[in-house]
Structure 1
Amino acid sequence: MALGPRLDLRQTQALVLTPQLQQAIRLLQLSNLELEAVIAEEISKNPLLEAASGGDDEGGPPLDADAEVAVDSSDEPAVPGADELMTSSDGTSDQPLDFDWDSEALETDSFADVVVSSGGGDEDGPDFERMEYTADSLSEHLLNQLHGASGTVGQLARVIAEMLEETGYLDVPVRDIAEATEEPVAVVGEALGLVQSLDPPGVGARNLSECLALQAKAADRYDPAMARLIDNLDLLAKGRMADLKRICGVDDEDLADMVRELRAYDPKPGCQFSSRGAESVSPDVFVRRTRLGFAVELNQATLPRLLVNRRYYQELKTGPQDKKSRAWLSECLASANWLVKALDQRARTIVKVVSEIVKRQQGFFEKGVAAMKPMTLREIADAIEMHESTISRVTSNKYLLCDRGLFELKYFFGSGVASTESEGEGAAAEAVKAAIREIIESEADVLSDDAIAGLLKQRGFDCARRTVVKYRESMGIGSSIHRRRQRKMAGAA
């Protein structure tokens, strides 16, 4: 076969993602708050884009009839609105005086608008005089108390206060602090004692025993018997009450009182202060009950609204410009139109996916977690004729608010167990966990995992013992031996 250059024609198929399509896919997996930052960046780059005002309805993505999911039907008559009540002159309306106007306003207004407008406070606004100052972190709380401390001890105490962990413990040895500050160990120890005398009691401890001992001293309960009990916490964890009575030299009543006192102490006193602000989670979707069933609505309060300024485009287009400027202006218009279209498609896709979730998990919204069913991404994808990866992007980083609380969309997906009935659809893992927790909380005698599995089968859950162990451990519930030991300790206390 001769080697040499030649020309060949080949026809192949390849999937190519355009930049616009990549942008649409990226927008799909963002939450409303993350989307707001992306849109702000696009507005800064594209002069034809502008954020719509809150009262402008043209900027929001239009929602179609898929926004409401009817799972129930009733023939209840429509409740008269405010206009009808004001114009009626017969005075025979049977409308109750304590009618819940907020709930009825949800039939026509946005859920976010009703919640924000109702506020929940009085007409005079918040009482700022009743608000108290709270420290942002443990170190700030301690430094405020060390404000009057001076000298070397006071400076070292401030250094130690800033070195504490979030739990309130000091993990750095005193000798290392002395070497770093070039101060004697005795002076550092005095500074540590000053920190340990601050509020909350137990802060500055180097281990659990010292933390409990500091709190016992603050409560004036640190006697020799309590000291020996704190020094033998391992025996208390094992439930060896007879050995503790012998070591502490007390009877059953005194030991029970001491154990009760220890349980009142905080093993991590610094956790009541947060070193960083709590991350607020805003719901992306509302699910509310209506007369027709359940309605799915996007959170318009956090949903960015975008418009294309076509008037400004016409002004730029009619002005003097060269070929390069016209190409740039056309590119800006195409990019703006595509972004608005992508946002509209994103809103419709989210509503469509959440509506299907509500249909399939109707039992959860009506009865709670015990009625959840196993559900996968592929089932939702097949039902609404979309790809499974699209469903995965839609359900990422998004939260749903309903009457039962705030849930991430991923919460409704998961495996489950089979039903003991021949025609049963099975139960979701969360439903099984709820049943296991209920059985354990209501058990008169400590049940083994085999006994719990038997009770679950009586409830219609076909669970093996290993499944019970897996779900129990995932919820942080101890074994039967551990629970029996805790019950024994509680009885002693």
Structure 2
Amino acid sequence: MLGQRLEIRQGQGLVITPQLQQAIKLLQLSNLELDAFVEAELERNPLLQREDAEPGGEIEAPAAAENHDAAEMTFDEGRVADADRTLDARSDDVYGDASPGERTSDRMEDVGVGEAQVGLNDWSRAGSGGGLPDGEGREQPDSREMTLWEHLQAQASQAAFSPSDHAIALTLIDSVDEGGYLRGELAEIADRLGITLERVEAVLAVCHGFEPTGVMARSVPECLKLQLVERNRFDPAMDCMLANLDLLAKRDLSGLRKACGVDAEDMAEMIAELKALTPRPGAGFGGEPAQTVIPDVHVRADPAGGWKIELNADTLPRLIMDKRYHGVVAAGSRSDVEKTFVAECAAQASWLVKSLDQRAKTILKVSSEIVRQQDAFLAFGVEFLRPLNLKTVADAIGMHESTVSRVTSNKYVSTPRGVFELKFFFTAAIQSSDGGATHSAEAVRHRIKAMIDGEGRDGDVLSDDRIVEILKETGIDIARRTVAKYREALRIPSSVERKRMLKTG
């Protein structure tokens, strides 16, 4: 029998307000995207205004103080300053009690103003600019042309590099000029990353296979050689010509023929082949020049020991709500429409000021825990990179994993070893055979490569099974197929192929 009746039911549900959705997106914006969003808000909201940071302004907080306004955190002997762990569960641990309409301070607090690291080479660049998606959630399409850097970075992401080799590749790409030539010093990059020159050269050799052919060469002869090798036209005579390009520039064809040991006909063909090559492989890419990334966090050695972590003042928009102007326009409002508009502007301004403040503190908190976890990497190099995941960091600082994931997206940290995306420090773990601490997968890859690099001195070649035995003797529990996978990712031939190469070499 059908009928109507009235029932009362009690239940729980999570309602995500438009302001909360915007807050979540605000947390994961890069500094360039955040700046564009803030500029749009300044134009839209007459009660907001930008407050320029005072020159040289830097606020430090006591190392062990329970201070919610901490400007920096200092680690000494593995101890981390206690930070605010109270976050609102309704907002998925994103912004605590930062909600529109709440009373906040007039001035956004200066969190973590620090000095820029001098002489650090940025290993990556920022992505496309732009603010938040519009009210309907549609992102604006990016119609600009791809830059040379973006083209190379995309290929590096697909090259099956290990995390550290990927960072090396991006550092090399950062040193490429508009013509496609590598201008960085390999020895300096190796020294800064705490690795061998041979490893940087091995990564560069892979990058030399990127398109366009000849890109990332260190000289014109090397650029032309890469293109000739691809066309299967590189031979001793052509090698000699590339070594004597000065004679070709002087049109000293007789001297060039004598140096190369060819006749006039062969010389004419060789010159025609050179003319078909591209001496500036990067010149064909348009678009705006790629901008160097501005780190969100600076890490520097503390003279007292440990590391000092500071937010970069250049990436922190400092906004205030003009309460005096708010009072004037509120008093002058006559109609309900005007009063509603002023009230909405005041609520939005108050929320944005507080949200930016909380965003900065959240980035500082996550970055500080990552630095604490990866102290050995900063001190000794890539071989000491610890296994780390989002849950470990989230549990340590009392946040949700999704919050840590958002914070580490498009955020960069400047360290004495270079500039890295925060996600770089998250690596897989390999169990210890003796029940001790786990080992970073990247550190194990580095050890495998070092073992294989040491082959040939005594005529012995290590099989994958032998590598497994050696690693287990040192406390690393790893399967043979995992060793094979890491070896292939490092582009190292099998033991049979390496033994054949030693015999023929």
| TM-score normalised to structure 1 length | 0.61
Q: In the alignment, what sits opposite 1:455? A: 470
The Cα shift of 1:331 comes to 0.3
Aligned partner letter, 1:419: S
- For 1:322 and 1:61, how far apart are their aligned partners in 2? 47
Contact 2:224-2:278 within 8 A present in 1 as well = no
The Cα shift of 1:346 comes to 0.8
Contact 1:61-1:344 within 8 A present in 2 as well = no
Choose the corresponding residue for 2:442, options 430, 433, 437. 430
Aligned partner letter, 1:426: T
Q: In the alignment, what sits opposite 2:160? A: none
Indicate how the Cα distance of structure 1 residues 41 and 359 shifts in structure 2: closer, same or farther if over 3 A, else same: same
Choose the corresponding residue for 1:167, options 213, 218, 228. 213
Deviations 1:324-357 (A, max 9, x none): 1111011001001101111111111111111222
- For 2:306 and 2:354, how far apart are their aligned partners in 1? 30
Deviations 1:18-71 (A, max 9, x none): 111111111111122221111112112111122222327999999734731323
Contact 2:429-2:438 within 8 A present in 1 as well = yes
Contact 1:61-1:343 within 8 A present in 2 as well = no
Q: In the alignment, what sits opposite 1:21? A: 20
Q: In the alignment, what sits opposite 2:424? A: 411
- For 1:360 and 1:308, how far apart are their aligned partners in 2? 38
SS class of match (2:431): strand
| TM-score normalised to structure 2 length | 0.59
- Aligned residue runs from structure 1 range 368-383, under 5 A: 368-383=381-396
Moved more, 268-277 or 377-386: 268-277
Matched, 1:35 2:58: no
- For 2:439 and 2:470, how far apart are their aligned partners in 1? 15
Indicate how the Cα distance of structure 1 residues 199 and 403 shifts in structure 2: closer, same or farther if over 3 A, else same: closer
Q: In the alignment, what sits opposite 1:150? A: none
Indicate how the Cα distance of structure 1 residues 477 and 305 shifts in structure 2: closer, same or farther if over 3 A, else same: farther
Q: In the alignment, what sits opposite 1:389? A: 402
The Cα shift of 1:370 comes to 2.3
The Cα shift of 1:485 comes to 4.9
Choose the corresponding residue for 1:285, options 297, 320, 323. 297
Indicate how the Cα distance of structure 1 residues 137 and 57 shifts in structure 2: closer, same or farther if over 3 A, else same: closer
Q: In the alignment, what sits opposite 1:441? A: 453
- For 2:30 and 2:324, how far apart are their aligned partners in 1? 31
SS class of match (1:443): coil
Sequence identity percentage? 43
Aligned partner letter, 2:434: E
Choose the corresponding residue for 1:474, options 471, 489, 500. 489
The Cα shift of 1:457 comes to 2.5
Choose the corresponding residue for 1:275, options 285, 295, 298. 285
Contact 1:363-1:372 within 8 A present in 2 as well = yes
User: Please, which runs of 5 or more residues in structure 2 have no aligned partner?
Assistant: 62-67, 80-111, 120-175, 181-210, 216-220, 243-256, 267-276
Deviations 1:151-199 (A, max 9, x none): xxxxxxxxxxxxxx73269xxxxxxxxxxxxxxxxxxxxxxxxxxxx99
The Cα shift of 1:5 comes to 3.1
Indicate how the Cα distance of structure 1 residues 199 and 467 shifts in structure 2: closer, same or farther if over 3 A, else same: closer
Indicate how the Cα distance of structure 1 residues 201 and 214 shifts in structure 2: closer, same or farther if over 3 A, else same: farther
SS class of match (2:325): helix
SS class of match (2:35): helix
Q: In the alignment, what sits opposite 2:349? A: 336
Moved more, 427-436 or 7-16: 7-16
Q: In the alignment, what sits opposite 1:154? A: none
The Cα shift of 1:321 comes to 3.1
Aligned partner letter, 2:433: T
Q: How many residues are matched? A: 343
- For 1:55 and 1:292, how far apart are their aligned partners in 2? 29
The Cα shift of 1:400 comes to 1.4
Contact 2:114-2:298 within 8 A present in 1 as well = no
Moved more, 2-11 or 404-413: 2-11
Indicate how the Cα distance of structure 1 residues 326 and 52 shifts in structure 2: closer, same or farther if over 3 A, else same: same
The Cα shift of 1:486 comes to 4.8
The Cα shift of 1:280 comes to 2.3
- For 2:262 and 2:445, how far apart are their aligned partners in 1? 44
Indicate how the Cα distance of structure 1 residues 456 and 337 shifts in structure 2: closer, same or farther if over 3 A, else same: same
Indicate how the Cα distance of structure 1 residues 482 and 370 shifts in structure 2: closer, same or farther if over 3 A, else same: same
Aligned partner letter, 2:7: D
Matched, 1:319 2:332: yes
Contact 1:447-1:480 within 8 A present in 2 as well = yes
- For 2:409 and 2:69, how far apart are their aligned partners in 1? 23
- Aligned residue runs from structure 1 range 59-74, under 5 A: 64-65=69-70, 67-72=72-77
The Cα shift of 1:14 comes to 1.1
- For 2:285 and 2:503, how far apart are their aligned partners in 1? 37
SS class of match (2:455): coil
Matched, 1:6 2:10: no
Matched, 1:357 2:367: no
Indicate how the Cα distance of structure 1 residues 482 and 136 shifts in structure 2: closer, same or farther if over 3 A, else same: same
- For 1:209 and 1:315, how far apart are their aligned partners in 2? 77
The Cα shift of 1:216 comes to 4.5
- For 2:402 and 2:496, how far apart are their aligned partners in 1? 44
Q: In the alignment, what sits opposite 2:114? A: 110
Aligned partner letter, 2:334: Q
Q: In the alignment, what sits opposite 1:94? A: none
Contact 2:427-2:441 within 8 A present in 1 as well = yes
Deviations 1:360-388 (A, max 9, x none): 22222222222232222112212222111
- For 1:379 and 1:206, how far apart are their aligned partners in 2? 48
| RMSD (Å) for aligned C-alpha atoms | 3.9
Aligned partner letter, 1:346: R
Deviations 1:386-407 (A, max 9, x none): 1111111111111111112222
Contact 2:413-2:420 within 8 A present in 1 as well = yes
Indicate how the Cα distance of structure 1 residues 200 and 376 shifts in structure 2: closer, same or farther if over 3 A, else same: closer
Choose the corresponding residue for 1:420, options 426, 433, 439. 433
The Cα shift of 1:312 comes to 2.1
- For 2:370 and 2:28, how far apart are their aligned partners in 1? 17
Indicate how the Cα distance of structure 1 residues 485 and 41 shifts in structure 2: closer, same or farther if over 3 A, else same: farther
Contact 1:59-1:306 within 8 A present in 2 as well = no
User: Please, which runs of 5 or more residues in structure 1 have no aligned partner?
Assistant: 75-107, 117-133, 139-164, 170-197, 228-266
The Cα shift of 1:215 comes to 4.3
Aligned partner letter, 1:35: L
- For 1:200 and 1:214, how far apart are their aligned partners in 2? 17
The Cα shift of 1:282 comes to 2.3
Indicate how the Cα distance of structure 1 residues 402 and 368 shifts in structure 2: closer, same or farther if over 3 A, else same: same
Deviations 1:87-108 (A, max 9, x none): xxxxxxxxxxxxxxxxxxxxx9
- For 1:308 and 1:396, how far apart are their aligned partners in 2? 29
Aligned partner letter, 2:332: G
Q: In the alignment, what sits opposite 1:208? A: 231
Indicate how the Cα distance of structure 1 residues 213 and 468 shifts in structure 2: closer, same or farther if over 3 A, else same: same
